[in-house]
Amino acid sequence: MIRLVTHDHDQLGEGREAGDALVTFVACAHAMLDPATPEEQVRRLETRLLAQLPTLRALGVFDLFDIRDPALATLLADEDELMPT
Protein backbone atom coordinates (compact mmCIF):
# COMPACT_ATOMS: atom_id res chain seq x y z
CA MET A 1 0.00 0.00 0.00
CA ILE A 2 1.27 3.46 -0.83
CA ARG A 3 1.20 6.27 1.70
CA LEU A 4 -1.25 9.04 0.83
CA VAL A 5 1.56 11.58 0.72
CA THR A 6 4.40 10.30 -1.39
CA HIS A 7 7.15 11.48 -3.66
CA ASP A 8 7.34 8.17 -5.55
CA HIS A 9 4.46 8.61 -7.97
CA ASP A 10 5.53 5.58 -9.99
CA GLN A 11 3.98 3.42 -7.25
CA LEU A 12 0.51 4.86 -7.80
CA GLY A 13 -1.95 2.48 -9.35
CA GLU A 14 -4.27 3.30 -12.18
CA GLY A 15 -7.10 3.71 -9.68
CA ARG A 16 -9.32 0.99 -11.07
CA GLU A 17 -10.52 -0.04 -7.62
CA ALA A 18 -12.30 2.32 -5.25
CA GLY A 19 -9.51 2.44 -2.67
CA ASP A 20 -6.87 2.86 -5.33
CA ALA A 21 -8.82 5.72 -6.89
CA LEU A 22 -8.95 7.59 -3.59
CA VAL A 23 -5.27 7.00 -2.83
CA THR A 24 -4.27 8.08 -6.34
CA PHE A 25 -6.46 11.19 -6.20
CA VAL A 26 -5.12 12.32 -2.82
CA ALA A 27 -1.47 11.61 -3.66
CA CYS A 28 -1.76 13.44 -6.98
CA ALA A 29 -3.55 16.38 -5.36
CA HIS A 30 -0.88 16.70 -2.66
CA ALA A 31 1.90 16.68 -5.24
CA MET A 32 0.09 19.09 -7.57
CA LEU A 33 -0.42 21.58 -4.73
CA ASP A 34 3.23 21.41 -3.68
CA PRO A 35 5.00 24.46 -5.14
CA ALA A 36 8.20 22.38 -5.46
CA THR A 37 6.60 19.99 -7.96
CA PRO A 38 7.87 20.69 -11.50
CA GLU A 39 5.20 21.92 -13.94
CA GLU A 40 5.75 18.96 -16.28
CA GLN A 41 5.03 16.54 -13.44
CA VAL A 42 1.97 18.57 -12.38
CA ARG A 43 0.52 18.11 -15.89
CA ARG A 44 1.08 14.33 -15.76
CA LEU A 45 -0.44 14.14 -12.28
CA GLU A 46 -3.42 16.24 -13.36
CA THR A 47 -4.32 13.63 -15.97
CA ARG A 48 -4.12 10.85 -13.40
CA LEU A 49 -6.11 12.86 -10.85
CA LEU A 50 -8.89 13.61 -13.33
CA ALA A 51 -9.07 9.95 -14.36
CA GLN A 52 -10.15 9.11 -10.80
CA LEU A 53 -13.19 11.40 -10.83
CA PRO A 54 -15.77 8.95 -12.24
CA THR A 55 -14.98 6.38 -9.54
CA LEU A 56 -14.92 8.97 -6.75
CA ARG A 57 -18.19 10.51 -7.95
CA ALA A 58 -19.83 7.07 -8.12
CA LEU A 59 -18.75 6.49 -4.51
CA GLY A 60 -20.22 9.84 -3.47
CA VAL A 61 -16.89 11.13 -2.15
CA PHE A 62 -17.63 14.71 -3.20
CA ASP A 63 -21.04 14.53 -1.51
CA LEU A 64 -19.19 13.91 1.75
CA PHE A 65 -16.07 16.06 1.36
CA ASP A 66 -15.41 19.52 -0.03
CA ILE A 67 -12.27 20.50 -1.89
CA ARG A 68 -10.93 23.49 0.04
CA ASP A 69 -8.01 24.43 -2.17
CA PRO A 70 -9.35 27.06 -4.63
CA ALA A 71 -7.16 25.98 -7.57
CA LEU A 72 -8.06 22.31 -7.19
CA ALA A 73 -11.75 23.14 -6.69
CA THR A 74 -11.68 25.20 -9.90
CA LEU A 75 -10.01 22.37 -11.81
CA LEU A 76 -12.72 19.93 -10.70
CA ALA A 77 -15.51 22.43 -11.44
CA ASP A 78 -14.10 22.98 -14.93
CA GLU A 79 -14.02 19.22 -15.44
CA ASP A 80 -17.65 18.98 -14.28
CA GLU A 81 -18.64 21.49 -16.96
CA LEU A 82 -17.03 19.31 -19.64
CA MET A 83 -18.89 16.16 -18.57
CA PRO A 84 -21.97 15.31 -20.63
CA THR A 85 -25.23 15.33 -18.72
Calpha distance 43→31 (Å, rounded): 11
Q: What is the pLDDT of residues 11-64, one digit of tens each?
A: 555 545 778 899 999 999 999 999 999 999 999 999 999 999 999 999 999 999
pLDDT at 9 over 60: no
Q: Which residue has the higher pLDDT, 60 or 8?
A: 60
Q: What's the sign of the alpha-carbon dihedral 60, 61, 65, 67? A: negative
Q: How confident is the model at residue 85 (pLDDT cuts 50, 70, 90)?
A: low
The mean per-residue pLDDT over the stretch 58-77 comes to 94
Q: Alpha carbon of 67 to those of 1, 8, 11, 34, 77: distances in Å?
A: 24, 23, 24, 16, 10
Under 8 Å CB-to-CB from 53, ≥6 apart: which residues? 25, 76, 79
- pLDDT for 65: 94
Domain limits of the chain? 9-80
pLDDT for position 73: 96
Q: 81: how many CB neighbours lie within 10 A of its CB?
A: 7
Nearest to 8 by CA among 22, 30, 19: 30
